[in-house]
Protein backbone atom coordinates (compact mmCIF):
# COMPACT_ATOMS: atom_id res chain seq x y z
CA UNK A 1 0.00 0.00 0.00
CA UNK A 2 1.48 3.32 -1.09
CA UNK A 3 1.21 6.42 1.05
CA UNK A 4 -1.53 7.67 -1.26
CA UNK A 5 -3.40 4.39 -0.87
CA UNK A 6 -2.97 4.55 2.90
CA UNK A 7 -4.42 8.04 2.92
CA UNK A 8 -7.37 6.87 0.86
CA UNK A 9 -7.90 3.97 3.28
CA UNK A 10 -7.54 6.22 6.31
CA UNK A 11 -9.82 9.11 5.42
CA UNK A 12 -13.26 7.47 5.81
CA UNK A 13 -12.07 5.85 9.05
CA UNK A 14 -10.82 9.16 10.39
CA UNK A 15 -14.13 10.78 9.45
CA UNK A 16 -16.13 8.12 11.27
CA UNK A 17 -13.94 8.36 14.39
CA UNK A 18 -14.23 12.14 14.41
CA UNK A 19 -18.01 11.95 13.99
CA UNK A 20 -18.44 9.49 16.87
CA UNK A 21 -16.14 11.44 19.17
CA UNK A 22 -17.89 14.70 18.34
CA UNK A 23 -21.35 13.21 18.86
CA UNK A 24 -20.19 11.67 22.15
CA UNK A 25 -19.18 14.94 23.80
CA UNK A 26 -21.86 17.57 23.97
CA UNK A 27 -20.46 21.09 24.11
CA UNK A 28 -23.61 22.20 25.92
CA UNK A 29 -22.76 20.52 29.21
CA UNK A 30 -22.23 21.49 32.86
CA UNK A 31 -19.95 24.48 33.36
CA UNK A 32 -18.15 24.25 29.98
CA UNK A 33 -16.67 20.86 30.84
CA UNK A 34 -17.76 19.37 27.52
CA UNK A 35 -16.17 22.30 25.74
CA UNK A 36 -12.80 21.62 27.38
CA UNK A 37 -13.10 17.93 26.52
CA UNK A 38 -13.89 18.70 22.88
CA UNK A 39 -10.93 21.07 22.73
CA UNK A 40 -8.69 18.28 23.99
CA UNK A 41 -9.82 15.57 21.64
CA UNK A 42 -11.30 16.95 18.41
CA UNK A 43 -9.53 18.31 15.33
CA UNK A 44 -6.08 17.11 16.17
CA UNK A 45 -3.80 14.18 16.63
CA UNK A 46 -2.71 11.51 14.23
CA UNK A 47 -5.37 9.05 15.50
CA UNK A 48 -2.78 6.30 15.27
CA UNK A 49 -4.42 4.20 17.99
CA UNK A 50 -7.91 4.29 16.45
CA UNK A 51 -6.46 3.45 13.05
CA UNK A 52 -4.62 0.48 14.55
CA UNK A 53 -7.83 -0.80 16.11
CA UNK A 54 -9.71 -0.50 12.82
CA UNK A 55 -6.91 -1.91 10.65
CA UNK A 56 -6.51 -4.88 13.00
CA UNK A 57 -10.24 -5.60 13.11
CA UNK A 58 -10.32 -5.49 9.31
CA UNK A 59 -7.29 -7.76 9.06
CA UNK A 60 -8.84 -10.52 11.16
CA UNK A 61 -12.54 -10.00 10.49
CA UNK A 62 -15.04 -9.49 7.74
CA UNK A 63 -16.99 -6.48 8.99
CA UNK A 64 -15.21 -3.30 7.89
CA UNK A 65 -17.93 -1.15 9.47
CA UNK A 66 -18.02 -3.05 12.77
CA UNK A 67 -19.59 -0.87 15.48
CA UNK A 68 -17.52 -2.73 18.06
CA UNK A 69 -14.26 -1.69 16.41
CA UNK A 70 -15.44 1.88 15.93
CA UNK A 71 -16.36 2.20 19.60
CA UNK A 72 -13.04 0.69 20.62
CA UNK A 73 -11.18 3.04 18.27
CA UNK A 74 -12.85 6.08 19.83
CA UNK A 75 -12.42 4.78 23.37
CA UNK A 76 -8.67 4.35 23.07
CA UNK A 77 -8.30 7.81 21.56
CA UNK A 78 -10.19 9.21 24.56
CA UNK A 79 -7.76 7.47 26.91
CA UNK A 80 -4.83 8.83 24.92
CA UNK A 81 -6.31 12.34 24.98
CA UNK A 82 -6.94 12.24 28.73
CA UNK A 83 -3.35 11.17 29.36
CA UNK A 84 -2.03 14.09 27.29
CA UNK A 85 -4.22 16.61 29.14
CA UNK A 86 -2.97 15.43 32.53
CA UNK A 87 0.61 14.94 31.32
CA UNK A 88 0.79 18.56 30.19
CA UNK A 89 -0.34 19.96 33.55
CA UNK A 90 2.04 22.08 35.62
CA UNK A 91 2.62 19.37 38.24
CA UNK A 92 3.60 16.92 35.49
CA UNK A 93 5.43 18.05 32.32
CA UNK A 94 4.17 21.63 32.54
CA UNK A 95 3.79 22.07 28.81
CA UNK A 96 1.98 24.91 27.07
CA UNK A 97 1.81 23.63 23.49
CA UNK A 98 0.08 20.51 22.14
CA UNK A 99 -1.04 19.72 18.60
CA UNK A 100 -0.04 23.28 17.73
CA UNK A 101 -2.48 24.80 20.22
CA UNK A 102 -2.27 26.01 23.84
CA UNK A 103 -2.66 23.05 26.18
CA UNK A 104 -5.99 22.53 27.94
CA UNK A 105 -4.92 23.97 31.30
CA UNK A 106 -3.56 27.08 29.56
CA UNK A 107 -6.84 27.52 27.71
CA UNK A 108 -9.35 26.53 30.45
CA UNK A 109 -7.46 26.63 33.75
CA UNK A 110 -5.92 23.83 35.79
CA UNK A 111 -9.02 22.69 37.62
CA UNK A 112 -11.01 22.38 34.41
CA UNK A 113 -8.12 20.51 32.74
CA UNK A 114 -7.99 18.07 35.62
CA UNK A 115 -11.75 17.43 35.37
CA UNK A 116 -11.70 17.27 31.57
CA UNK A 117 -8.99 14.61 31.67
CA UNK A 118 -10.91 12.68 34.31
CA UNK A 119 -14.11 12.82 32.29
CA UNK A 120 -12.38 11.86 29.02
CA UNK A 121 -11.16 8.71 30.72
CA UNK A 122 -14.66 7.95 31.99
CA UNK A 123 -16.16 8.57 28.56
CA UNK A 124 -13.84 5.94 27.07
CA UNK A 125 -15.47 3.26 29.19
CA UNK A 126 -18.94 4.66 28.58
CA UNK A 127 -18.29 4.48 24.83
CA UNK A 128 -17.24 0.82 25.08
CA UNK A 129 -20.51 -0.13 26.72
CA UNK A 130 -23.20 1.55 24.63
CA UNK A 131 -26.44 -0.16 25.54
CA UNK A 132 -27.96 0.04 22.05
CA UNK A 133 -27.53 -3.66 21.34
CA UNK A 134 -25.07 -3.17 18.48
CA UNK A 135 -22.14 -4.83 20.24
CA UNK A 136 -22.31 -8.17 22.12
CA UNK A 137 -21.82 -7.83 25.88
CA UNK A 138 -18.90 -10.26 25.79
CA UNK A 139 -17.03 -8.01 23.34
CA UNK A 140 -17.83 -4.95 25.45
CA UNK A 141 -16.54 -6.57 28.63
CA UNK A 142 -13.40 -7.88 26.91
CA UNK A 143 -12.57 -4.45 25.50
CA UNK A 144 -13.12 -2.73 28.86
CA UNK A 145 -10.84 -5.28 30.54
CA UNK A 146 -8.10 -4.81 27.93
CA UNK A 147 -8.28 -1.03 27.94
CA UNK A 148 -8.41 -0.72 31.72
CA UNK A 149 -5.45 -3.05 32.20
CA UNK A 150 -3.39 -1.28 29.51
CA UNK A 151 -4.02 2.20 30.86
CA UNK A 152 -3.95 1.62 34.63
CA UNK A 153 -1.27 1.48 37.26
CA UNK A 154 0.31 -1.60 35.75
CA UNK A 155 0.20 -0.01 32.30
CA UNK A 156 0.25 3.56 31.02
CA UNK A 157 -0.20 5.32 34.38
CA UNK A 158 2.53 3.15 35.89
CA UNK A 159 4.84 4.08 33.02
CA UNK A 160 4.20 7.74 33.65
CA UNK A 161 5.02 7.28 37.32
CA UNK A 162 8.34 5.67 36.35
CA UNK A 163 8.95 8.51 33.91
CA UNK A 164 8.44 11.10 36.65
CA UNK A 165 10.65 9.21 39.05
CA UNK A 166 13.40 8.83 36.44
CA UNK A 167 14.21 12.46 35.76
CA UNK A 168 17.96 12.95 36.05
CA UNK A 169 18.61 9.23 36.55
CA UNK A 170 20.72 6.97 34.38
CA UNK A 171 18.47 4.10 33.32
CA UNK A 172 19.75 0.89 31.81
CA UNK A 173 18.33 -0.10 28.43
CA UNK A 174 16.17 -2.69 30.21
CA UNK A 175 14.76 -0.09 32.58
CA UNK A 176 14.14 2.35 29.74
CA UNK A 177 12.38 -0.36 27.72
CA UNK A 178 10.21 -1.28 30.70
CA UNK A 179 9.22 2.36 31.22
CA UNK A 180 8.24 2.78 27.58
CA UNK A 181 6.59 -0.61 27.37
CA UNK A 182 4.17 0.71 29.99
CA UNK A 183 3.98 4.40 29.19
CA UNK A 184 3.48 4.24 25.43
CA UNK A 185 3.66 0.62 24.38
CA UNK A 186 0.78 -0.68 26.49
CA UNK A 187 -1.81 1.49 24.74
CA UNK A 188 -0.48 0.76 21.24
CA UNK A 189 -0.49 -2.95 21.96
CA UNK A 190 -3.98 -2.58 23.39
CA UNK A 191 -5.15 -1.01 20.12
CA UNK A 192 -4.18 -4.20 18.33
CA UNK A 193 -5.63 -6.43 21.05
CA UNK A 194 -8.97 -4.60 21.04
CA UNK A 195 -9.11 -4.89 17.26
CA UNK A 196 -8.75 -8.65 17.69
CA UNK A 197 -11.25 -8.75 20.58
CA UNK A 198 -13.91 -7.11 18.40
CA UNK A 199 -13.89 -10.10 16.06
CA UNK A 200 -15.19 -13.53 17.14
CA UNK A 201 -13.07 -16.67 16.96
CA UNK A 202 -9.67 -15.33 15.91
CA UNK A 203 -7.18 -18.22 15.77
CA UNK A 204 -4.72 -18.34 18.66
CA UNK A 205 -1.68 -18.24 16.35
CA UNK A 206 -2.93 -15.09 14.67
CA UNK A 207 -3.66 -13.49 18.01
CA UNK A 208 -0.17 -14.24 19.31
CA UNK A 209 1.58 -12.96 16.18
CA UNK A 210 -0.46 -9.75 16.35
CA UNK A 211 0.50 -9.34 19.99
CA UNK A 212 4.17 -9.49 18.98
CA UNK A 213 3.39 -7.01 16.23
CA UNK A 214 1.82 -4.60 18.72
CA UNK A 215 4.73 -4.89 21.12
CA UNK A 216 7.36 -4.19 18.47
CA UNK A 217 5.36 -1.34 16.97
CA UNK A 218 4.85 0.22 20.40
CA UNK A 219 8.54 0.26 21.15
CA UNK A 220 9.41 1.50 17.63
CA UNK A 221 6.97 4.37 18.13
CA UNK A 222 8.70 5.47 21.32
CA UNK A 223 12.23 5.24 19.90
CA UNK A 224 11.11 7.40 16.96
CA UNK A 225 9.55 9.82 19.47
CA UNK A 226 12.89 10.14 21.25
CA UNK A 227 14.66 10.73 17.92
CA UNK A 228 12.13 13.39 16.89
CA UNK A 229 12.51 15.16 20.23
CA UNK A 230 16.10 16.01 19.17
CA UNK A 231 15.79 16.26 15.38
CA UNK A 232 12.47 18.07 14.81
CA UNK A 233 11.43 21.62 15.65
CA UNK A 234 8.36 22.57 17.71
CA UNK A 235 6.38 23.83 14.70
CA UNK A 236 6.70 20.47 12.94
CA UNK A 237 6.04 18.46 16.10
CA UNK A 238 3.08 20.56 17.20
CA UNK A 239 4.48 20.25 20.70
CA UNK A 240 7.58 21.54 22.44
CA UNK A 241 10.72 20.02 20.88
CA UNK A 242 13.78 19.17 22.94
CA UNK A 243 11.78 18.96 26.14
CA UNK A 244 13.04 15.51 27.13
CA UNK A 245 16.62 16.70 26.90
CA UNK A 246 15.75 19.93 28.71
CA UNK A 247 14.01 17.95 31.46
CA UNK A 248 16.98 15.61 31.70
CA UNK A 249 14.78 12.62 30.96
CA UNK A 250 16.28 9.30 29.93
CA UNK A 251 15.74 8.61 26.20
CA UNK A 252 16.99 6.13 23.62
CA UNK A 253 19.00 8.91 22.00
CA UNK A 254 20.69 9.75 25.30
CA UNK A 255 21.33 6.07 25.93
CA UNK A 256 22.51 4.97 22.46
CA UNK A 257 23.28 8.11 20.47
CA UNK A 258 21.24 9.45 17.56
CA UNK A 259 22.23 7.15 14.69
CA UNK A 260 22.05 3.90 16.68
CA UNK A 261 18.61 4.98 17.95
CA UNK A 262 17.44 5.48 14.37
CA UNK A 263 18.81 2.08 13.41
CA UNK A 264 17.06 0.52 16.42
CA UNK A 265 13.74 2.02 15.33
CA UNK A 266 14.22 0.47 11.89
CA UNK A 267 15.05 -2.90 13.40
CA UNK A 268 11.90 -2.81 15.54
CA UNK A 269 9.80 -1.89 12.51
CA UNK A 270 11.26 -4.90 10.68
CA UNK A 271 10.35 -7.06 13.67
CA UNK A 272 6.80 -5.73 13.53
CA UNK A 273 6.61 -6.47 9.79
CA UNK A 274 7.87 -10.01 10.37
CA UNK A 275 5.20 -10.57 13.04
CA UNK A 276 2.57 -9.56 10.48
CA UNK A 277 4.01 -12.14 8.05
CA UNK A 278 3.82 -14.70 10.86
CA UNK A 279 0.04 -14.23 11.10
CA UNK A 280 -0.13 -16.03 7.71
CA UNK A 281 -3.09 -13.84 6.81
CA UNK A 282 -3.57 -12.74 3.18
CA UNK A 283 -1.25 -9.86 2.38
CA UNK A 284 -4.26 -7.87 1.21
CA UNK A 285 -5.64 -8.01 4.74
CA UNK A 286 -2.32 -6.86 6.20
CA UNK A 287 -1.72 -3.94 3.85
CA UNK A 288 -3.11 -1.22 6.12
CA UNK A 289 -1.21 -2.48 9.18
CA UNK A 290 2.02 -2.57 7.15
CA UNK A 291 1.45 0.94 5.84
CA UNK A 292 0.69 2.24 9.35
CA UNK A 293 3.91 0.65 10.61
CA UNK A 294 5.91 2.36 7.86
CA UNK A 295 4.19 5.64 8.72
CA UNK A 296 5.13 5.33 12.39
CA UNK A 297 8.81 4.95 11.55
CA UNK A 298 8.93 7.53 8.77
CA UNK A 299 6.82 10.22 10.44
CA UNK A 300 8.26 13.64 11.18
CA UNK A 301 5.84 14.57 13.96
Binding site for a copy of itself (CB under 8 A): 25-26, 29-34, 37, 82-83, 86, 89, 91-92, 109-112, 114-119, 121-123, 125-126, 128-131, 136-138, 140-142, 144-145, 147-149, 151-154, 157-162, 164-165, 182
Q: How far is the CB of 9 from a copy of itself (least distance, A)?
A: 31
User: Smallest distance from the beta carbon of 88 to a copy of itself, in angstroms?
Assistant: 11
CB of 79 to a copy of itself, least distance (A): 9
How far apart, in Å, are the Cα atoms of 17 and each of 14, 67, 151, 233, 291?
5, 11, 20, 29, 19
Smallest gap from residue 289 Cβ to a copy of itself (A): 26
Q: Is the dihedral of CA 209, 210, 213, 214 positive or negative?
A: negative
Measured from the CB atom, the residue of 34 and 50 that comes closer to a copy of itself is 34
Crossing angle of helices 67-87 and 156-165, in 10° steps, is: 20
Smaller CB distance to a copy of itself: residue 190 or 228?
190
Query: Measured from the CB atom, is 8 or 246 closer to a copy of itself?
Result: 246
C-beta of 286: minimal distance to a copy of itself in Å? 28
Rounded distance between C-alpha atoms, residue 278 and residue 272, angstroms: 10
Contact status, residue 157 vs residue 87, Cβ threshold 8 Å: no
With respect to a copy of itself, which residue has the nearer C-beta, 144 or 232?
Answer: 144
- CA–CA separation, 175 vs 291, rounded Å? 30
Closest to 40 (Cα-Cα) out of 73, 7, 87, 72 = 87
CB of residue 152 to a copy of itself, shortest distance in Å: 4
Q: Which is nearer to a copy of itself, 3 or 141 (CB)?
A: 141
- H or E element that contains 179: helix 173-180
Q: Where are the beta strands (DSSP E) in the chain?
A: 97-98, 101-102
Identify which of residues 20 and 116 has a Cβ nearer to a copy of itself in the complex.
116
Amino acid sequence: MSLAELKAWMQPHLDRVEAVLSAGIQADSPARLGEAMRYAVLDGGKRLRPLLVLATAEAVGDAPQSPAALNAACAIELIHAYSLVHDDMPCMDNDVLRRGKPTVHVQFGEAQALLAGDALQTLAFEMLTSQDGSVPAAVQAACVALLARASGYQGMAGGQAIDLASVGLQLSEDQLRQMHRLKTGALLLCSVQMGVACVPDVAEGVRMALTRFGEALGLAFQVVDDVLDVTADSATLGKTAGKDVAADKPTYVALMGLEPAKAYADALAAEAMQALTDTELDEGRLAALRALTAMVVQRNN
